[in-house]
Amino acid sequence: MRGRQLDDLRQAADTPWKAWNEVWRVLAYPRIRLLFAMSGIAWSEGWRFYGTPVVQRHRQSVMRLGSGLQLRSSVRSNPLGANHPVILTTWQAGARLEIGADFAMTGGAVCAAVSIRIGDRVTVGANSIITDTDFHPVEVAQRVLQPAAGTARPVVIEDDVFIGMNSLVLKGVTLGRGSVVGAGSVVTRDAPPGAIVAGNPARVIHPEPGSDPAP
């Protein structure tokens, strides 16, 4: 244990901003604990918050967050800089937002109108957005009559997925286990397990479509 403590002290000396991040994390703990209690969300072990997230849970929805959650909402908490705090939202009655263990995210938002299910060990890069709804209808007449009646379809993000910064994951998408989304991508279609997808709209860039799998 003594060796580990010395390593921590050396790191604090070499990267003082990280030490300050830990100080602010500890000071913010009571406020964040109260935020989740008032939102009716059960607290779990190993949660770490750098800056205060925005939590918007519809009272007739489900929001479940696994152990080891790490949310970075402060601009100083990540070298890429959060544009705004992490926002977690269940937008409508009956919505479900379920996140597994060891989820990490900097800035950005996750918004569920029907269902977003995220597996274990998923990392979301700075300022990315995951949503299962268009929010507003495409047709003008419907948009005038029902401005919040956009199309919604469930999103599934399986275990060990990495989503690069400034990406959008949109309605109806499934990201297969271990897949990677390149930075700045707009994901409108499924990604197979282990694939790398990138672009707008995102497409599989590795392995190349039609190529034989490695032996």
Express each pLDDT in 50-83 by its tens digit. Answer: 999 999 999 999 999 999 999 999 999 898 999 9
Residue 179 to residue 1: CA distance in whole angstroms: 36
Predicted TM-score of the model (pTM):
0.88
Domain assignment present for 143 = yes
* 206 in active site: no
Of the listed 58, 84, 136, 206, which one is catalytic?
Answer: 136
User: What's the domain count of the chain?
Assistant: 1
CATH classification of the domain holding 62: 2.160.10.10
Domain assignment present for 126 = yes
Predicted confidence (pLDDT) per residue in 122-159, tens digit: 999 999 999 999 987 677 777 667 667 678 999 999 99
Residue 23 to residue 124: CA distance in whole angstroms: 24
Domain assignment present for 171 = yes
